[in-house]
Amino acid sequence: MDNFRKEFPIFKKQKQLIYLDSAATSLKPKTMIQAINDYNQKYSINSHSESSSPLFKKVWTTIQETREIIAQKIKGKAEETSFLPSTTHALNFLALSLKNHLQKGDRICLTYLEHSSNLHPWQAIAKEKKVIVDFLPLNKEFTIDIDKLDKYIDKKTKIVSFVHVSNSLGVINPAAEITKKIKEINPECLVILDACQSIIHVPINVTEWNIDALALSGHKVYGPTGIGVLWIKKELGEKLPHLLWGGGKKIGPTEEITNQNLPLSQKMEVGTLPLAEIFGLKAAFEFLNNFATKEIYKYENDLRNYTLQKLKKIKNITIYNQNLVSANIITFNLASYHAHDIVDYLGKNNILIRAGNFCCPYLDKLISANSALRVSFGIYNNYNDIDKLVSHLQKIIQNPRILLPF
């Protein structure tokens, strides 16, 4: 995979860059960048401007092809796939759409692994509807404890929403087994999957797993910012209310609404679509499809194991997930040094990792620390990146004064 580093133009512009923050956002391959440029330079028309023009046909076809390539990736249907500005937007939209699905005393189940985007929207509607929010138990592997689900899921549990791959520890929830158990206990319970981190690293089959909805982000799959995807099982999507109006939507709020012949995306997509981003997202998934998911996982896991061996030699380091099965993430702290001070120093030396709670509000419940350091890998990383990171961490241990801002 090292040969693919050349596919990322940023390394030609930033020759000294060591980028180890792919869980936050992935870098962009030149084919994706070119696809966005192609839309802007060659086709730049509105998808609502319907005609027999070759320009319109190209734009319209690309929208449908992008739905299809994403649907194939998650084993869903293109007609169930909609474009929204981000995963955060998608999960907020979904929570608001399901508000009337809930009554006082019902239950929503989440986990302490959740990103705030899959936490706060559900807490907000729970507060409004006087619904109980429970947190599913985690086992020693920090994944959902399937054996204890029957103590948490009951007939009052209407929604379970959980992260597939954690952005804080990288642990992988066995979504198929979890969903199977939930549906055995309560077949009417909706299961929602945050696939932001998993879409690259873990195979997904929403149909086989009986998932009801899934959200993912463009900029975490080597695609553009400003676009997310919401997949909703057709049976559920048809029951959702119309919350958004105008801008190309074929009906208005004063008209009689029927779902016959009305695309499901009409409930989610209003206004002009982010067309350049859709062109880019299609190219990103085409780029991603050059690799088997297992191939990406193995390569990044080899990098992770190499990094762990190097990091464990550093004095007074705490690695929170070294003994956990993790997709592409290492989370750690250096005793006596604040994570943000370390990230600041590394940044000055062109090494980019992440510090903080990674938008995981309950991180302290997982690792007993409010802030940590996170290294996350992409297919463009190599062993040289790791050696340089570890070298600079050793310099901090040897001479802590280098962290001073003056």
Residues annotated as part of the active site: 359
Q: What share of residues in the chain are helix, strand, coil (percent, to 5)? A: 45, 15, 40
Backbone angles phi, psi at 64, to 5 degrees: -70, -40
Number of helical H runs and strand E runs in the chain: 14, 13
The whole-angstrom separation of Cα 183 and Cα 242 is: 27
CA distance 302 to 322: 13
Count of residues in the chain = 406
Q: Is the CB of residue 185 less than 8 Å from the CB of residue 149?
A: yes
Alpha-helix residue ranges (DSSP H) falling in 312-370: 339-348, 363-367
Q: In which region does residue 260 sit, left (phi positive, over 0), alpha (psi from -120 to 50) or beta (all else)?
A: beta
Spatial separation of the C-alpha atoms in residues 307 and 310, rounded to whole Å: 5
Q: How far is CA 313 from its chain centroid?
A: 32
Q: What is each CA distance from 396 to 21, 304, 317, 400, 404, in whole angstroms?
A: 20, 22, 12, 5, 11
DSSP lists the bridge partners of residue 132 as: 107
CA distance 276 to 40: 7
DSSP state of 73: H
Question: Whole-angstrom Cα distance, residue 30 to residue 199?
Answer: 20
